[in-house]
Amino acid sequence: MRVLGIETSCDETALAIYDTDLGLLGHEIYSQIPLHALYGGVVPELASRDHLKKLPIILKKLLAKTSCAFSDLNGIAVTCGPGLVGALRVGVSFAQALGLSLEIPVIGVHHMEGHLLAPMLENPAPAYPFVALLVSGGHTLLIEAQAFGVYKILGESLDDAVGEAFDKTAKMMGLPYPGGPELAKLAERGRPNVFNFTRPMTDRPGCDFSFSGLKTQVLMAYQHSDKSEITKENLAYGFQEAVVETLRIKITRAMELTQAKRLVLAGGVAANQALRSCIANLSKIKGWEIFYPRPEFCTDNGAMIAYVGAMRLGIKLKKLGPKEVINNQINSQINIQGRWSLEDLSKPADGLLQ
Ligand code: KG4
Ligand code: ZN
């Protein structure tokens, strides 16, 4: 079965084709970063309009690149939440129109399930059960993936997501959008023990996070500093060190709590080298197996959506048969959910496995 994956939940227009026998056939990612950089952050209305403009162009390019015709596609998977509602609506409308004209099933995919299972596109892929740290611009989650579609949230951020804290801290130091990778670059030149920030919520039990206080600490230190390049480098180092250390402590707790032996690191912030090397060292000491998606699949991409869609569509087709799936689709809408917990996928209303 060949499934086209469509991702438009934020500022990337991304498409991919996944074949259940051959694996990933190809993918395309178009980033809107230059469009939003002018405003210092994502402008939702501009994001929606640009997705609409780019989707047909990128699809054409992907079909040519993978030597696929429309008639080779057996299904479409599209991100339907969480994310920017307007941007999601563009992707879902495009997918539904295409599905209707090709008479193939369309399935909605949870964006974070995509991130969670992005390492399944690599070799070796993690076996279930595993613990995953999902760190992106919108989410900070520690999850126990017990089986496909059965996820337990062990901890999450009570305020800013890690990527958001990186971006906001970078912005206040005058770095260009998106600030996360820029701040990480600055931190590479910083020195240890110049700024020592707290490791938020590590003195309390549990696996929840809070990063907005840390961001404020850095802001105060910056405002009272000489604002020189060297100071900025040292502040970036101190901030990144506090984040990585906090994540290390919470990951250790989650692994001990679940007795898991496999750890997945995914989401945009999983591209951070300091985090990767800290967790790699820790895994060696603890004897854990660690899995990451390749860097371009850490950030938003269509491949992870095509993969999850292919798995879910496979289950649905087996259960209902192709005719019933298409009939269901004509009579029902794909629910667009700006906010949507990953744990809901395990509930009968949203899950497809029960
Ligand atoms: O997963 P993603 O592409 O989009 C969301 O769904 O949020 O993640 C983007 C986030 C941004 O906040 C970006 O600044 C952050 O990931 N990011 C990084 C790095 N690369 C991307 N943060 C820290 N260090 C990096 N190297
Ligand atoms: Zn994402």
d(CA 151, CA 315) in angstroms, rounded, equals: 17
Ligand 1 atom closest to the CA of 139, numbered from 1 = 7
Poorest-pLDDT segment among 45-49, 133-137, 341-345: 341-345
Please give the helix or strand (H or E) that residue 78 lies within, else none: strand 75-81
Confidence of residue 199 (pLDDT cuts 50, 70, 90): very high
For residue 126, the 8-state DSSP code is P
Distance from Cα 87 to the centre of ligand 2, integer Å: 13
Cα angle at 5 between 267 and 305, to 5 degrees?
A: 30
How high is the pLDDT of residue 353? Answer: 41
Amino acid letter, residue 98: L
pLDDT tens, position by position, 241-297: 999 999 999 999 999 999 999 999 999 999 999 999 999 999 999 999 999 999 999
Q: Evaluate if residue 152 carries a pLDDT over 70.
A: yes
pLDDT tens, position by position, 24-53: 999 999 999 899 988 888 899 999 999 999
Q: Evaluate if residue 154 carries a pLDDT over 60.
A: yes
pLDDT tens, position by position, 164-182: 999 999 999 999 888 999 9
d(CA 150, CA 345) in angstroms, rounded, equals: 7
As a CATH number, domain 2-116+299-346 is 3.30.420.40
Distance from Cα 115 to the centre of ligand 2, integer Å: 7
Average of per-residue pLDDT across 297-326? 90
Percentage of residues in the chain having pLDDT higher than 90:
86
Q: Which letter, b or e, does each residue of 140-153 get, where b requires 16 or more Cβ atoms within 10 Å of its Cβ?
A: bbbbbbeebbebee
**Which has the higher per-residue pLDDT, 208 or 37?**
208
d(CA 329, CA 316) in angstroms, rounded, equals: 12
d(CA 2, CA 22) in angstroms, rounded, equals: 9
User: Does domain 128-292 sit in CATH 3.40.50.300?
Assistant: no
Does residue 181 have its Cβ closer than 6 Å to ligand 1? yes
Ligand with smallest separation from the Cα of 167: 1
How high is the pLDDT of residue 265? Answer: 96
Q: Evaluate if residue 145 carries a pLDDT over 80.
A: yes
Ligand with smallest separation from the Cα of 164: 1
Distance from Cα 8 to the centre of ligand 2, integer Å: 10
Average of per-residue pLDDT across 53-66? 98
How high is the pLDDT of residue 330? Answer: 63
pTM of the entire predicted model: 0.92
DSSP 230-295: HHHHHHHHHHHHHHHHHHHHHHHHHHHHHT--EEEEESGGGG-HHHHHHHHHHHHHHT-EEE---H
Does residue 167 have its Cβ closer than 6 Å to ligand 1? yes
Q: What is the pLDDT of the chain when averaged over all its residues? A: 93
Does residue 137 have its Cβ closer than 6 Å to ligand 1? yes
How high is the pLDDT of residue 38? Answer: 86
Distance from Cα 195 to the centre of ligand 2, integer Å: 30
Does residue 237 have its Cβ closer than 6 Å to ligand 1? no
Q: Which residues contact 149 (CB under 8 A, 6 or more apart)?
A: 312, 345, 346, 351, 352, 353
Tell which residue, 352, 353, 346, 336, has the closest CA to residue 111. Answer: 336
Cα angle at 275 between 272 and 279, to 5 degrees?
A: 140
**Which has the higher per-residue pLDDT, 325 or 184?**
184
d(CA 275, CA 269) in angstroms, rounded, equals: 8
Does residue 183 contact residue 169 with C-beta atoms inside 8 Å?
Answer: yes
Pocket test for ligand 1, best of 9, 113, 133, 136 (most atoms within 8 A of CB): 136
How high is the pLDDT of residue 237? Answer: 98
How high is the pLDDT of residue 333? Answer: 79
pLDDT tens, position by position, 65-92: 999 999 999 999 999 999 999 999 999 9
How high is the pLDDT of residue 183? Answer: 97
Domain range list for the chain: 2-116+299-346, 128-292
How high is the pLDDT of residue 348? Answer: 55
Structure tokens at 88: 């999601």
Asked if the domains at 2-116+299-346 and 128-292 fall in one CATH topology, the answer is yes
Average of per-residue pLDDT across 137-154? 95
Amino acid letter, residue 215: K
How high is the pLDDT of residue 331? Answer: 60
Percentage of residues in the chain having pLDDT higher than 70:
97
Does residue 83 have its Cβ closer than 6 Å to ligand 1? no
Does residue 138 have its Cβ closer than 6 Å to ligand 1? yes
Distance from Cα 202 to the centre of ligand 1, integer Å: 23
Ligand with smallest separation from the Cα of 243: 1
Average of per-residue pLDDT across 189-199? 97
Give the rounded distance of the alpha carbon of 284 from its chain centre: 25
d(CA 47, CA 152) in angstroms, rounded, equals: 31
Residue 77 φ/ψ, nearest 5 degrees: -115, 135
Report strand pairing: 150-156 vs 140-147: antiparallel
How high is the pLDDT of residue 350? Answer: 52
Q: Evaluate if residue 332 carries a pLDDT over 80.
A: no
Distance from Cα 52 to the centre of ligand 2, integer Å: 19
Distance from Cα 66 to the centre of ligand 1, integer Å: 28
DSSP 129-174: SEEEEEE-SS-EEEEEEEETTEEEEEEEBSSS-HHHHHHHHHHHTT
